[in-house]
Structure 1
Amino acid sequence: MTQIPTEPPLYVPEPMTTTADKASTYRLTRDFASSSSSSSSQALVVRCTGWLVRARGWVSRYRYEIAPAAGTSTLSLLGWWQESIGATVSYGLLTGVAGAAAVLGLKYKNAPVTQAAAGFTVALGDIATATAFGPGPESATAWALTTGLAYWIYGPWLTAQRNARMKLHIDTVKAKGALPNALGLEAADPGLIGATPEETALRRAIHALTGAAPLDVMAFHRGEHGWSALVVMPAGRSTAPSAIISRRVQLAANLGQPGKLTLAQGPADNELVVKVSTVDALAGTLPLTETGVTTCREPVLLGADEDGQPIHLTLMYRHTLIAGASDWGKSGIVNLLIKRLNRCLDADLYGIDMKPGAPELGPWEPVMAAPVAKTPTQARALLLWLRDECNRRGAIIAELSRKSMAEGKGPVRKWVPGVHGKAIFVFTDELAELVRQDPGLAELYESLLAIARFLAIHFISATQQPSRKVFGGSTDARGNYANRLSTRAGEAGHAPFVFGQGCQAKGWRPELLDLPGKFLLQTAELTEPKVYRAEYVTDLDIAADVGFYYSDKADTEPQPALTDEPWVEQFALLRFPNGDLVRPGQWPDLWEQFQALGSATKKELAAVCQISRDTAMRAIEEWEKHGVVGRRDGRSTRYYAKPEEEQ
């Protein structure tokens, strides 16, 4: 029997050769006299340690990839550990509460609450299933669904992180100055290699166009409809973003990438926004969407952008200019705005359509507050009435402001729909034709554009091109339009008439729009050029709002003769008993209410109109100069609005 030493040697020296200086060379050989069981145990420990080290490295390397699976597995294990009826009921109730919170988040359009509540709903549902069924196929199914959903949400973020790490690695190699053999083209021409094939193609295309490489590509995004990038350009005349935008066609040829290239000025002066759309998300007609909005104080839904996101337009306290060539959707956008505002309970609509027969606004006449103005005379009557309405509303705002200040509150500065009265929206189709037929209306129109906004009187004007002639020889009126919208323009030179001088160098190119209903929009919030498409209002959609008006009239009923009488009734100018016109400084708003009363004392007039007695007294003193008479009525004097022969 072999005796096992207490400390057996692992290796023993074996002499091999002896040199002249008596030095020996040894070969170490394994001593197999040691115990076989001890060596086997040590080998197993070594192998296990190696496996653990490799597993640790694998987990460390792929920690982001396995995080969702590890999380859902932990939830399932916790559920199995708590397997009981009570735990199932508790987690089921919590799942219901989280689901209700997600529904409320959707209802009130709160994205953070919706996302958080939906995540808790899925996680709690997984735990509830595990506590109810324990280890088994039911729990495995819930785990698989939860894990799949987690990776579906987590995947885009993980891809973005990978791209960022890859770009960081490439930038690090660039900074270290790698040898030409290592980086090839990058060593010979620095700045021409990007983190993605698209970025590389973009860098090379810009270099071929300008002779200079971009300083940096600060952001790169790839989506289902294409890709976009924010490029920082070096200083120079030929490398300025405006110069590159003007050479878009050549850059697209240099790029050699599939899709439609769009260029725009970036946030900084030396930044260029590059977008390549491989799929036209706006190629199909967008059907009309019912929003359920019943107040004009909310923005209206116009349509969608190239990424499929909805686009809303604020109309309150802003005039809107709609330009574009014929048959490219300009009138369709007007119909869409009328359709939206017709749902609003706090808005009145008026229209001016100078085309013979009013084909654009005429069908909407039943839902408007007055017949559509179809002649210059009718348009002048409407605009003069709007001027008087401005005076009336201004006097009310002044009186309300005085009372508010007397109560220690701030002044009243705007007419608020639903509080002070209704908002007014005036739609004008073919503004240029209106000015051509009556040039004198340009000055009145411009005056209303300047003073009417704070009184909640808004103009939505459509024209083919808002040139200098449209506004009576000046472009001052165009500056009053805070919302500027353009469908396809007939010529490249029309863009500055809508978006201002220098707009084309920044990417405002309406002549490049290729489908009816597509438009560019410039507002206080939307300052960068972007293509949108409006929802399409069909003839059936119009009939749904106004068809009842026409169907109520029997075909056998004799039609009334064409007359301007409705305009005389609706917009008849205010006159005093002696026939004089009521001027702006003669309290036209109070006179209108006084006419409705027929007669009143100073006290009654002040109470009905909610003004001070001093204001009522000064107004009546002015009116007495124009035929208003007063008679004693007890201890007071009663004043009459009609001439004596009509009393």
Structure 2
Amino acid sequence: MHETNPALSAVVIDTTPAKVKRLSGLRSATTNTLDALSPACSPLAARWDAEADRRHALRTPENLKKLMDAQRAHTSARSTAATAKAQRTAARAASKNPLSTARRSAATADKAARKHRTSARAALKTAQTNYPSTLASVAVRAHALHVIPAGFASWAMSTPADWATWPASLSIAVVAANAGALWLGRRAVSVQVEDDGLSGEERALMERLDPTYWVQHAEERLLSGTVTTPPQMTPAGIVCGVRLDGKWSVSEFKAKAESVRALLGMKTETRMEIGKGSQGDWARIVVRTRSASDGMSMVWTPEHTGLGVDEVTGDVVDIPLKPGVHVLLAGITGMGKSVSWRGHFLKAMADPEWTAVVLDPKRQEAIGVQHAVRAVGQEPNREQRMADIYGLIQELTKEMHRRQGVATGADWKPDGRPENRFLLVIVDEGAAIIRMAKDKRYADVLDLLDELWGEARAAGFQFIWATQNPTKQGGIPALVKDNMSVRISLTTGAGEHERAVFGENAQATGWAPSTLEGIPGRALIQYGKRRPDPVRMWNVTNDVMAALPKADPWQSPAVVPADSPEAERPALRLVKDRPAESVPAARPATAEAPAAPATNRDHVLAAIRDGARTNRDVVDRTGLNKGSVSKAVKALIETGAVVKDETAGLILGGAEEVSA
């Protein structure tokens, strides 16, 4: 502790000399500069060392012996050729007759000697190739070709005081550059990776993805011509860009995925994705050592928004609740298609300007939401379900026509009345609707859907089409498919199904839901400029759906106008064989509510009079059990008090009608 001022004992005083600091900073800067230059020189050093090793491997005693034999043979052949040439010259001088025996013999010998010399020279070249000079000696001879002339030129052009003029200095610079490049290329660069909570596997992968390591070892895996950028650790794992030279394309690099895994020493179970980078000559490697949704509960709560979480960025992924932004939702059975649309459904339920309509040939979803929204498909009898679904599609078409007739602008605007809210229409199994069209009773159902998809945006409709079979032949009408703004796919089959959802270039552009590994709730969402990064969808449980508040289901005024006399009393009907005075008069309209009915029949009749159109509606309104309602409705139909219309459903009739 400080003797005079104890407070100074807590102060840390830097006593390092300024000169030491400067030297340390210079050393650090030099190291960083050399580390940056080493990857650029590494290919040169690698090629140099490979060529040196090749030459060294050929310099065997056997090849040396062959070279020496070839040199002797070549020397002998040259001597023989020179002697033959001299003899031919002497023969020409001795005789003027070209056909003389001496001249012809000398010419033949000369030609044979020259031919032998040529073959000996070729053999010598082959032997020299098989026993090459060392690369260092070749480099020395090459540099000597410019160093020696440059030295003489500098000596001749200058005085001893300035012998370093440009010829010599330039030549020396070339030699130094060669030696320096080799030194830098062979320099071992230590890759520094910041910890930041990295696992041992992640640290090793990031070190090998660093460009200093990659460039030095890429050629070993036939990946020369590719250079990585410094890798980044993201919530979804390691992300690294790869620059590709002219001979590479993204698809070719993707085909080398096994070589990349080998270069990185990656575990077999570690997921890796290779796709397009930010530019045409760049690729992107994503090593899924982590997920942004790791450790996150995907069970939906009221605090959650959107459809789910992007596994790469950790951002919430959402789509707009907006008329005309239709959604295609595909996925094989068991992947969670119905659960995947529930998040968007809840958004609509929370907005007072929206309501939902559910068409569910499978029953389960319709049963779960029938207390809160208009739902069809919950009936146990399949024929009844199909008839109800067809009737609702007809009703939606009539509602669209009604809104087109009363709209005052280009877009539909809710006016606060329940029947005029925006409609989120969910078709949860489109393939069943396609099969339904094969029944002649519902032959026009696809025409109705085409009309809805083509015109319903301006009437305030948004559709979600969910299907297991996303092909035009099996699960999506052509016009419906072509008018999808959002495409969501959980795991599907490869090939045709992927192209049906994301287009003909789906796999080439990374939209390959067949690679989602069959994990329920894991999807690709294509909307706007989203990348093909996996999304973990919120799991909206059945308990959440069951807890939705009970509400009156939406009904179209185009089928039962709420303010027309027909809503208060049944249509007129001619009754035969009855005197006119015996026909009951129409009930006067009163502002007071009718007295409470005393029997099940009265309860059911009152419910139908108040707008119930199906047995389920009557059950919801009266609280009676289904058996009692079914028995009462059957009795009322038999007496003529109720009529079951194919389009409108249950309406008053018989004794409740006034004869014409």
TM, length-normalised to structure 2: 0.52
- Counterpart of 1:442 in structure 2 is 446
Q: Over residues 267-322 of structure 1, what are the superposed CA-to-partner deviations in whole Å (9 max), with x where a residue is unaligned?
A: 433321210111244456512132488xxxxxx34334234322122231311011
Closer, same or farther in 2 for the Cα pair 1:537/1:551, shift >3 Å? farther
- Counterpart of 1:465 in structure 2 is 469
- Counterpart of 2:242 in structure 1 is 231
- Counterpart of 1:287 in structure 2 is 299
Whether the 8 Å contact between 1:492 and 1:510 is mirrored in structure 2 is no
Q: CA deviation at 1:518?
A: 0.5
- Counterpart of 1:353 in structure 2 is 360
2:504 maps to 1:504: no
Closer, same or farther in 2 for the Cα pair 1:559/1:363, shift >3 Å? farther
Task: Show the 5 A alignment for 1:597-612.
Answer: none
2:279 maps to 1:272: no
**Separation in 2 of the partners of 1:505 and 1:210?**
23
- Counterpart of 2:422 in structure 1 is 423
- Counterpart of 1:137 in structure 2 is none
- Counterpart of 1:380 in structure 2 is 390
Kindly provide the amino acid, as one letter, of the partner of residue 288 in structure 1. W
Closer, same or farther in 2 for the Cα pair 1:458/1:225, shift >3 Å? closer
Q: Over residues 28-65 of structure 1, what are the superposed CA-to-partner deviations in whole Å (9 max), with x where a residue is unaligned?
A: xxxxxxxxxxxxxxxxxxxx9993444567789999xx
2:526 maps to 1:522: yes
More deviation, 479-488/564-573: 564-573
- Counterpart of 1:309 in structure 2 is 315
2:253 maps to 1:244: yes
**Structure 1 unaligned residues grouped into runs of 5+:** 1-47, 64-161, 188-193, 294-299, 402-412, 574-642
**Separation in 2 of the partners of 1:167 and 1:345?**
62
Whether the 8 Å contact between 1:446 and 1:471 is mirrored in structure 2 is no
Closer, same or farther in 2 for the Cα pair 1:197/1:347, shift >3 Å? same
- Counterpart of 1:365 in structure 2 is 370
Q: CA deviation at 1:494?
A: 2.0
Whether the 8 Å contact between 2:234 and 2:312 is mirrored in structure 1 is no
SS across alignment from 2:275: strand
- Counterpart of 1:33 in structure 2 is none
Kindly provide the amino acid, as one letter, of the partner of residue 252 in structure 2. A
- Counterpart of 2:489 in structure 1 is 486
More deviation, 476-485/320-329: 476-485
- Counterpart of 1:495 in structure 2 is 498
Q: Over residues 393-428 of structure 1, what are the superposed CA-to-partner deviations in whole Å (9 max), with x where a residue is unaligned?
A: 23334xx34xxxxxxxxxxx3224578942111111
Counterpart of 1:179 (choices 165, 178, 181) is 181
**Separation in 1 of the partners of 2:486 and 2:282?**
25
**Separation in 2 of the partners of 1:529 and 1:319?**
19
Kindly provide the amino acid, as one letter, of the partner of residue 240 in structure 2. A
Closer, same or farther in 2 for the Cα pair 1:557/1:386, shift >3 Å? closer
Structure 1 vs Structure 2 CA RMSD:
4.6
Q: CA deviation at 1:501?
A: 0.7
Closer, same or farther in 2 for the Cα pair 1:54/1:273, shift >3 Å? same
Closer, same or farther in 2 for the Cα pair 1:319/1:171, shift >3 Å? same
2:324 maps to 1:322: no
Whether the 8 Å contact between 1:204 and 1:213 is mirrored in structure 2 is no
Kindly provide the amino acid, as one letter, of the partner of residue 302 in structure 1. G
**Structure 2 unaligned residues grouped into runs of 5+:** 1-13, 45-176, 190-204, 380-384, 553-618, 650-656
- Counterpart of 2:266 in structure 1 is 257
**Separation in 2 of the partners of 1:274 and 1:61?**
34
**Separation in 1 of the partners of 2:458 and 2:506?**
28
Closer, same or farther in 2 for the Cα pair 1:419/1:547, shift >3 Å? closer
SS across alignment from 2:242: strand
**Separation in 1 of the partners of 2:25 and 2:628?**
85
**Separation in 2 of the partners of 1:561 and 1:455?**
36
SS across alignment from 2:432: helix
Identity of aligned residues (%): 19
TM, length-normalised to structure 1: 0.53
Kindly provide the amino acid, as one letter, of the partner of residue 280 in structure 2. D
- Counterpart of 2:539 in structure 1 is 536
**Separation in 2 of the partners of 1:561 and 1:364?**
21
**Separation in 2 of the partners of 1:511 and 1:249?**
19
Larger radius of gyration: 2
Q: Over residues 67-110 of structure 1, what are the superposed CA-to-partner deviations in whole Å (9 max), with x where a residue is unaligned?
A: xxxxxxxxxxxxxxxxxxxxxxxxxxxxxxxxxxxxxxxxxxxx
Kindly provide the amino acid, as one letter, of the partner of residue 456 in structure 2. A
Closer, same or farther in 2 for the Cα pair 1:529/1:209, shift >3 Å? farther
Whether the 8 Å contact between 1:322 and 1:485 is mirrored in structure 2 is yes
- Counterpart of 1:75 in structure 2 is none
Kindly provide the amino acid, as one letter, of the partner of residue 315 in structure 2. Q
